[in-house]
Amino acid sequence: MRPLRSTLLGFQPPAIGEEEIAAVTETLRSGWLTTGPRAALLEERMAAFLETDHVLAVASGTAALHLALLAVGVGPGDEVITSPITWPATANVIEHCGATPVFCDVRDTDLNIDPALVPALVTERTKAVLPVHFAGQVADLDPIIALGLPVVEDAAHAAESAYRGRKVGGISDASCFSLYATKNIAAGEGGLVATNRDDVAEAIRNMRLTRRGDGSHYDQVTAGFKANLSDVLAAIALVQLDRVEEHARIRQRQFDLYDEGLAGLAGITPLVRDPRDVHALHLYVVRIDADGAGADRDAYQRGLADELIGTSIHFLPVHGLTWFRERYPGQEPLPVAERAGAEVLSLPLSPAHSDDDILDAIDAVRRLHERFSA
Range with the poorest average pLDDT among 160-174, 214-228, 352-366: 214-228
pLDDT tens digits, one per residue of 273-284: 999 999 999 999
Q: pLDDT class for 209, splitting at 50, 70, 90?
A: confident
pLDDT tens digits, one per residue of 256-295: 999 999 999 999 999 999 999 999 999 999 999 999 999 9
Write down the pLDDT at residue 90: 98
Residues in the chain: 374
The rounded distance, in Å, linking the Cα atoms of 371 and 124 is 54
Q: pLDDT class for 127, splitting at 50, 70, 90?
A: very high
Report the percentage of the chain scoring pLDDT > 70.
Answer: 98
Cβ contacts of 170 within 8 Å, gap of 6 or more: 50, 51, 52, 53, 194, 196
Q: pLDDT class for 13, splitting at 50, 70, 90?
A: very high
Q: pLDDT class for 212, splitting at 50, 70, 90?
A: low
> Is the per-residue pLDDT at 215 higher than 70?
no
Q: pLDDT class for 218, splitting at 50, 70, 90?
A: confident
pLDDT tens digits, one per residue of 312-324: 999 999 999 999 9
Q: pLDDT class for 224, splitting at 50, 70, 90?
A: confident
The SS3 assignment for 195 reads strand
The whole-number average pLDDT for the span 327-348 is 97
Give the residue range(s) of CATH 3.40.640.10 domains in the chain.
Answer: 18-242
Give the residue range(s) of CATH 3.90.1150.10 domains in the chain.
Answer: 244-373
Question: For residue 233, which phi and psi values (nearest 5 degrees)?
Answer: -70, -40
Write down the pLDDT at residue 240: 98
Supply the DSSP string of 266-323, one letter for each residue.
TTEEEPP--TTSB-----EEEEE-HHHHSS-HHHHHHHHHHTTB--B-S---GGGSHH
The whole-number average pLDDT for the span 311-339 is 97
The rounded distance, in Å, linking the Cα atoms of 324 and 338 is 14
pLDDT tens digits, one per residue of 143-177: 999 999 999 999 999 999 999 999 999 999 999 99
Write down the pLDDT at residue 2: 73
**Region for residue 164 given its phi and psi (left: phi exceeds 0; alpha: psi -120 to 50; beta: otherwise):** left
Write down the pLDDT at residue 237: 98
The whole-number average pLDDT for the span 209-220 is 70
244-373 maps to CATH 3.90.1150.10? yes
> Is the per-residue pLDDT at 210 higher than 70?
no
DSSP run (H or E) holding 40: helix 37-50
Helix axes 297-306, 355-373, angle to 10 degrees: 130
The rounded distance, in Å, linking the Cα atoms of 350 and 11 is 8
Write down the pLDDT at residue 10: 97
Please name the fold of domain 18-242.
Aspartate Aminotransferase; domain 2 (3.40.640)
Q: Closest Cα to residue 308, out of 12, 13, 11, 9? A: 9
Active-site residues: which are they? 183
Amino acid at 282: H
pLDDT tens digits, one per residue of 72-109: 999 999 999 999 999 999 999 999 999 999 999 999 99
Estimate to the nearest angstrom the gap between the alpha carbon of 38 and the chain centroid.
23
pLDDT tens digits, one per residue of 37-71: 999 999 999 999 999 999 999 999 999 999 999 99
> Is the per-residue pLDDT at 216 higher than 90?
no
